[in-house]
Structure 1
Amino acid sequence: MHPDDLEKLVTWKMPFGKYKGRLLADLPGHYLNWFARTGFPPGEIGRLLALLQEMDHNGLKPLLNPLRNKQVNS
């Protein structure tokens, strides 16, 4: 994991697919699990989606809330 990956999860938007335009951190678990089953896309977006899926699977998505608040207050 890169140091700024968590911040990217709350600022980057999904660039394609059913949830195009939605913040990565707001993607539903079933969609992340679908990627886990079928394969994550190549490159940085795939790495971030895999990280988010792991966080969601382990109940760690609430760790992103302070970063969300930071973005809102910036």
Structure 2
Amino acid sequence: MQPDKASLIELAKYKMPFGKYKDQYLVDIPEYYYTWFKQKGFPKGKLGNMMQQMYEIKVNGLEEIIYRIKREF
């Protein structure tokens, strides 16, 4: 499966629209926050999908890929 370049760029540049981490890039939010949402349920829609993706990225230690994309694009 080939990752969609545009989706990864959007994920790297997306900021949390609410809550404790409002206006912070999703990649900069700590893993425990995503783990909590994983247990309680991610929001519906685009934000929830992006948070699920970021959860998987963080759990697998792949944040550097997102940081690199954020710097380059």
Task: Summarize the alignment of residues 1-74 of structure 1 with structure 2, pairs less than 5 Å apart.
Answer: 3=4, 4-71=6-73
Cα RMSD after superposing both structures: 1.7
- Distance in 2, matches of 1:65 and 1:2, equals 16
- Distance in 2, matches of 1:16 and 1:66, equals 25
Q: 9-18 or 49-58: which moved more?
A: 9-18
How many residue pairs are counted as aligned between the two chains?
71
Gaps of 5+ in 1: none
- Distance in 1, matches of 2:51 and 2:67, equals 17
- What's the % identity of the aligned pairs? 35
Gaps of 5+ in 2: none
Structure 1 residue runs of 4 or more that deviate by more than 4 Å after TM superposition: none
Kept after mapping to 2: 8 A contact 1:5/1:48: no
SS in structure 2 at match of 1:51: helix
Output the TM-score relative to the length of structure 1.
0.85
Output the TM-score relative to the length of structure 2.
0.86
